[in-house]
Structure 1
Amino acid sequence: MSESEGSPVYRTIVVGTDGSRSSLRAVERAAEVARDTAARLVIACAYEGARDVDRVVDRLGDDVGYQVVGASPAEETVRTASEVALKAGATDVRTVVAEGQPVSVLRRVVRDYEADLLVVGNRGLNTLAGRVLGSVPGEAARKSRVDILIVHTVG
């Protein structure tokens, strides 16, 4: 990241999405930052096999966010998110779909693209699943080696 008049200028921004309305708000905000800094925007979606999601849902109920099941729905998720990003003004948009846990996938994408900003929504910070398992934004903030923007997407 380079400095311009004391404020950071980002070159590559990674944003995670699960296709939910709240995660698309995070994509929109990340796209606005990408537009304002002429940065590349990389939209990432992690997906799990149905067996893994069923195990977690059985334990915690429907209070589980950031879980996309299967590669095809994940591809559709990033296609939709890419459209949102382009409408918000991002001009250089890439997409990544990868199997794995959301935070692990986001960390890998940040490393692979040499990103200097990670953007996630605040979904899960105040939920039962977030308290029991750890939320995606909370875990991402603890483990990130780059700047992180947690977008207020849910009340």
Structure 2
Amino acid sequence: MPAYQTIVVGTDGSATSFAAVERAAGVAADSGATLLIVSAYTPASRETAGRENIAAAQDALKDEAFLVEGWTPAEEALREATDRAARVGAKKVTTHAEDGAPVDVLRKAVRDHSADLLVIGNRGLNSFSGRLLGSVPADATRRAGVDVLVVHTT
């Protein structure tokens, strides 16, 4: 029996999150596990101060020639992450986008899919704001309830 059956990894479309996806895909390929790639989002209708973040994410994706016309940043991040996971060798890949805070969405995915490993990038762990306010990797590591692989992505 492989060590891991279901692996969850999050992506926000950033280069660092794609590094975590690629590491998770490698672990999934090695263990024959299912890889669930998750993207948390906030609908534009609820976003006020964060509109610049969506525009910045779309601009970053366009700069990398990833954005498909009409797709949301979350959908595009999942598409690109799936392509990267397949290139690394993951055979069973599923995706899920959900409205919510990243840590909450990741924990829900772990719980709902009975995952036994959460893979997350380390971006934010060593920043001043991450130490002061907490970061997604630190919070996810504390609250995951399963094994966590923190990938050095920065």
Instruction: Report the TM-score, using the length of structure 2 for normalisation.
Output: 0.81
Equivalent residue number for residue 68 of structure 1:
none
Give the direction of change, closer, same or farther, for the CA distance of 1:26–1:46 in structure 2 (3 Å limit): same
Task: Confirm whether residue 80 of structure 1 aligns to residue 46 of structure 2.
Answer: no
Any residues of structure 2 matched to 1:1-155 within 5 Å, and which?
Answer: 9-50=3-44, 52=47, 54=49, 72-154=72-154
Going by fraction, where is strand more abundant, 1 or 2?
1
Q: Name the amino acid aligned to 1:19.
A: G
How many residues matched? 137
After the TM superposition, which parts of structure 1 deviate over 6 Å for at least 4 consecutive aligned residues?
Answer: none
Q: Shift in Å at residue 134 of structure 1?
A: 1.1
Q: Percent identity?
A: 54
CA RMSD of aligned residues (A): 2.3
Which whole-Å CA distance do the structure 1 matches of 2:14 and 2:72 have between them? 16
Q: Shift in Å at residue 53 of structure 1?
A: 6.8
**Unaligned stretches of 5+ in structure 1?**
63-70
SS at match of 1:109: helix
Instruction: Report the TM-score, using the length of structure 1 for normalisation.
Output: 0.81
